[in-house]
């Protein structure tokens, strides 16, 4: 932790903590009733037709839900300053705390997977700031990076047949 983060932690306690500490333990989110705040400090990636309308769309993945959840956990583990906060495998959810480099601001990321037929599943990612009104696009950029990293772990799609 930087000296600036320690000093900021005197006023914003979660900034003075390390890893996932300093925040209440996450609970399973009910994405069917998700309400986004009016502030522009969140980003949502979800399948087409999801409500509320997502900032980024996620495809149907050719993986069973538990495998997709494990893959997104691997993606999260490879990200800088990202710490596991909770895992709810039976609910198909996991949570991480992501800290900013200098000020140690915590952001929360929740992933939820849902089975979509036999060996296919969908993914919802919700990234949000704990402090501040605006995130200057950080949460959306994070979700883009995580989705790109996830896509890199998937087998290539078969090429369409040509005549």
Mean pLDDT (whole number) for 28-53: 96
**DSSP string for residues in 84-112:** EEEEEGGGTEEEEEEE-TTT--EEEEEEE
Instruction: Quote the pLDDT of residue 128.
Output: 98
The residues that bridge with 129 in the sheet, in sequence order, are 107
84, with CB counted inside 10 A (0-12, 13-18, 19+), is middle
Query: Do the beta carbons of residue 112 and residue 29 sit within 8 Å?
Result: yes
What SS3 class is residue 23? coil
Domain ranges of the chain: 41-153
Superfamily for the 41-153 domain:
START domain (3.30.530.20)
Mean pLDDT (whole number) for 32-51: 96
What is d(CA 79, CA 60) in angstroms, rounded to the nearest whole number?
23
What is d(CA 84, CA 111) in angstroms, rounded to the nearest whole number?
11
Task: Write the CA distances from 11 to 93, 101, 114, 133, integer angstroms.
Answer: 31, 18, 39, 17
Q: pLDDT at residue 17 above 90?
A: no
Stretch among 13-27, 83-97, 105-119, 148-162 having the lowest mean pLDDT = 148-162
Instruction: Quote the pLDDT of residue 162.
Output: 46
pLDDT in tens, 76-131: 999 999 999 999 999 999 999 999 998 899 999 999 999 988 789 999 999 999 99
């Amino acid at each position: 932790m930087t000296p600036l983060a320690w000093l900021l932690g005197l006023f914003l306690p979660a900034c003075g903590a390390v890893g996932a500490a300093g925040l209440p333990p996450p609970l399973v989110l009910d994405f069917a009733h998700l309400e986004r705040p009016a502030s522009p400090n969140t980003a949502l990636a979800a399948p087409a037709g999801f409500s509320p309308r997502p900032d980024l769309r996620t495809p149907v993945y050719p993986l069973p839900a538990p495998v997709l959840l494990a893959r997104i956990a691997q993606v999260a583990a490879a990200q800088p300053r990202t710490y596991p906060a909770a895992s709810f495998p039976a609910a198909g959810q996991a949570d991480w705390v992501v800290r900013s480099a200098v000020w140690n601001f915590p952001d929360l990321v929740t992933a939820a997977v849902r089975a979509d037929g036999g060996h296919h599943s969908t993914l919802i990612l919700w990234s949000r700031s704990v402090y501040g009104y605006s995130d200057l696009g950080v949460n959306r950029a994070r979700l883009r990076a995580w989705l790109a990293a996830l896509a890199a772990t998937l087998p290539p799609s078969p090429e369409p047949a040509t005549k």
